[in-house]
Structure 1
């Protein structure tokens, strides 16, 4: 008789920090210090916020280009690669990427043995469209020794297709570097809309999600914190963090549970119950959308 595999749990950390605009070396040093603190708590998969090496609110494309770096040869990537090797951790970090004459709002995925891959934000928010090209790599997943990792960035969370694409490719956890901002109509007594969306995506795809937001006010733009880690059930296992303080949110999870417990009952499994033959978007009149 063959016993069921019992995958070892991992400890996930979301690092909620406040980047200082334009001070890349200082921001990377701050991130490394907080990474070290999280690793001391046992974390072996860590997520940093969106564009955490440069800051977010650019005034011009030229300013963004000046601060951007190549992946994986730029200063920020090299510092994180060295940190991951030293601490034997996996890291997903938001970074301003330069590729030739193109700019991307990206995330770099790093492991103990070095650079693994990158993700480029598909859905650009607001003025990002003035500075960045839309992501052109789709929704890749990365198979690692600790599990299969997907990635989204901030506004990607508003599109159910983003998480579904990751889940269908076998992702067990999706890491989300983010810069969530206040949403119009938000009820101050309720959890942030971003948290609700992340919880729903975890539940409807049976995946873990780790979303690391930033805090502070940058060039008059406030950010709302509330970093969160959700279980494949949809319920938080750590966070939400505070709205204003730098802090580290940590949870120990078993990524294998995302697949092992995907059957909700004798009949229903959220990915197998899909009926793509009736999701015929070609019949929609695009003029009616919007």
Structure 2
């Protein structure tokens, strides 16, 4: 299977520019004619860091009918491949937790979503993020259907997730519950696709140094959250996990956010994204990385699951002390 991820430096509130950038990258680095899947980041064309319910309002898109979905349909039919891309969705569901507008109109629920389009332009799936990050909580509802795992055309059984989905729920669930990984594996997924807007704690000055080098601590963390998949691969069936993250910097318009539980989260002046989009393969309990992009590298990553991986990882045996360690070097 041939899979491409498009790692973007998305400019917040500039959908037209971001779409033009995506088109330019695909034109300058055209994927092969037998590409199976193209994956883009979370909120790929709108940008991610919206601090409030009102700030994202002008950029919401109707369910599988906005600018992002139209681009996905056009691109999927042109490249003859599946396309998965993130967007901010406004649905027809009534949000009972919100007061009607001043005109008496009901407020509709909003979701952080991905749309999946087939090579013929058919909408195959609209997944709504289940586990929300602090920023999402300011405007989005949790996806009511839970995690996604289903057949997606010629891709077979696929698990779909968005960024925070791989973390423990609200950072409070037990680390080893592995809610997302456990769910998609129980559904039989052999391909897991993650659209990301994953942050890094690296300062922007460090990101600018060797931008083509991945943020290995980020990739290592992602790997840890799929430990059940590594274990499941010992049964003899390979599992591939694709991460499509973004790069760049977005400014914080507010200095703190209050979570649904009342926790006040202090924010800095800006957020930086970790890039490092990659594809991992788990086979017979061993881990390899087919390929990956850098922490500040905008471009297209192409991998072929049928050829040897570029990187093999050595996993250290677990140490049963107060702390568990896993070597992802």
| Match of residue 5, structure 2, among 11, 14, 21 | 14
Q: What are the Cα deviations for residues 41-66 of structure 1, in whole angstroms up to 9, with x where unaligned?
A: 75321110111110011132112121
| Match of residue 84, structure 1, among 42, 53, 76 | 76
The 1:199–1:227 alpha-carbon spacing in structure 2 relative to 1, beyond 3 Å, is farther
Shift of 1:30: 2.2
Separation in 2, partners of 1:112, 1:41: 12
1:214 aligns with 2:222: no
Shift of 1:254: 4.6
Shift of 1:199: 5.8
- Asked if structure 1 preserves the Cα contact closer than 8 Å seen for 2:149 and 2:184, the reply is yes
The 1:190–1:104 alpha-carbon spacing in structure 2 relative to 1, beyond 3 Å, is closer
2:112 corresponds in structure 1 to: 105
2:317 corresponds in structure 1 to: none
Q: What are the Cα deviations for residues 210-267 of structure 1, in whole angstroms up to 9, with x where unaligned?
A: 001101101121111111100023321111x111120222211159xxxxxxxxxxxx
Alignment of 1:8-157 (within 5 A): 10-35=1-26, 37-40=29-32, 42-100=34-92, 101-113=108-120, 114-143=122-151, 144-157=153-166
- Asked if structure 2 preserves the Cα contact closer than 8 Å seen for 1:199 and 1:230, the reply is no
Shift of 1:109: 0.9
1:225 corresponds in structure 2 to: 275
- Asked if structure 2 preserves the Cα contact closer than 8 Å seen for 1:24 and 1:53, the reply is yes
The two structures have a TM-score, normalised by structure 1, of 0.77
Q: Give the number of aligned pairs.
A: 242
The 1:152–1:249 alpha-carbon spacing in structure 2 relative to 1, beyond 3 Å, is same
- Asked if structure 1 preserves the Cα contact closer than 8 Å seen for 2:148 and 2:161, the reply is no
Q: What are the Cα deviations for residues 101-131 of structure 1, in whole angstroms up to 9, with x where unaligned?
A: 1111111111112211111111111221111
Shift of 1:194: 4.5
Q: Which SS does the other structure have where 1:164 is aligned? A: helix
The 1:191–1:45 alpha-carbon spacing in structure 2 relative to 1, beyond 3 Å, is same
Q: RMSD of aligned C-alpha atoms?
A: 2.3
2:103 corresponds in structure 1 to: none
Q: Where does the alignment leave 5 or more consecutive residues of structure 2 unmatched? A: 93-107, 169-177, 208-213, 234-238, 252-269, 308-329
| Match of residue 181, structure 1, among 163, 179, 199 | 199
- Asked if structure 2 preserves the Cα contact closer than 8 Å seen for 1:69 and 1:75, the reply is yes
Separation in 2, partners of 1:167, 1:35: 32
Separation in 1, partners of 2:189, 2:56: 31
Q: Which SS does the other structure have where 1:167 is aligned? A: helix
- Asked if structure 1 preserves the Cα contact closer than 8 Å seen for 2:7 and 2:277, the reply is yes
| Match of residue 235, structure 1, among 288, 296, 299 | 288
| Match of residue 204, structure 1, among 208, 222, 231 | 231
